[in-house]
């Protein structure tokens, strides 16, 4: 079993890794970014659109163009959902580490609410800096609408993570009471 300190370090490293991945995606010029979105859209259309592979190149491109925007926005929300989850786990581990060192226990719901708020806030703050960064990349633009998409992913990710932790901890405490 990993020590609490090791769990803190691992969760911080995962958060930093996700932040680096987001930075690298945002650092792609518009041509590379569009190309990646089109490849993903092509893959999705190949799987889910009946007869896609038998269509003319023009009809295939029309499907790809239709799917590119939702693919890009889903990627934004997913990136920030993952970032918020990693921040949530990091905040949770830090709280637990602090409580263990101080020999106290913060209430579960209170701790989760604080961790949730911090994870969400950090995710949205990073989304803002990411959009500012994109303004410096060739052919890219920083958009406030993307911050809202990122925030929606962050709120979903951090909320799901908080609920999972809550259920896990509640069940664990119930098991300890019956043991």
Q: Is residue 114 part of a domain?
A: yes
Angle between helices 144-178 and 57-102 (to 10 degrees): 50
Q: What is the mean pLDDT of each run of 10 residues along the chain (179 residues)?
A: 93 98 92 91 95 94 94 95 98 94 88 97 97 91 93 98 95 78
Q: Is residue 156 part of a domain?
A: yes
Q: Is residue 174 part of a domain?
A: yes
Nearest-CA neighbor of 119 among 6, 4, 14?
14
pLDDT of residue 96: 93
pLDDT of residue 24: 95
pLDDT of residue 30: 85
pLDDT of residue 141: 86
pLDDT of residue 1: 83
pLDDT of residue 140: 87
Q: Is residue 85 part of a domain?
A: yes
pLDDT of residue 64: 95
Alpha-carbon gap, residue 164 to 162, rounded angstroms: 5
Q: Is residue 69 part of a domain?
A: no
Q: Is residue 53 part of a domain?
A: no
Q: Is residue 42 part of a domain?
A: no
Q: Is residue 94 part of a domain?
A: yes
Domain limits at 20? 4-29+80-178
Looking at the structure of the chain, the number of domains it has is 1
Identify the DSSP state of 126: H
pLDDT of residue 126: 98
């Amino acid at each position: 079993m990993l020590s609490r300190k090791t769990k803190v370090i691992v969760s911080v490293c995962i958060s930093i890794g996700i932040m680096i991945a987001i930075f690298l995606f945002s650092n792609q010029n518009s041509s590379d970014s569009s190309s990646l979105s089109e490849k993903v859209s092509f893959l999705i259309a190949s799987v889910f659109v009946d007869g896609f592979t038998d269509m003319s190149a023009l009809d295939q491109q029309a499907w790809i163009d239709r799917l590119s925007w939702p693919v890009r926005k889903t990627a934004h929300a997913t990136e920030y959902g993952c970032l918020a989850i990693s921040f949530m786990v990091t905040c949770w581990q830090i709280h637990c580490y602090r409580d263990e060192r101080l020999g106290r226990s913060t209430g579960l719901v209170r701790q989760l609410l604080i961790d949730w708020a911090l994870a969400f806030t950090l995710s949205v703050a990073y989304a803002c800096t990411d959009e500012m960064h994109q303004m410096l990349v060739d052919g890219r633009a920083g958009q406030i609408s993307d911050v809202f998409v990122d925030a929606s992913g962050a709120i979903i990710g951090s909320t799901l993570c908080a609920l999972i932790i809550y259920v896990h901890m509640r069940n664990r405490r119930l098991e300890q009471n019956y043991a």
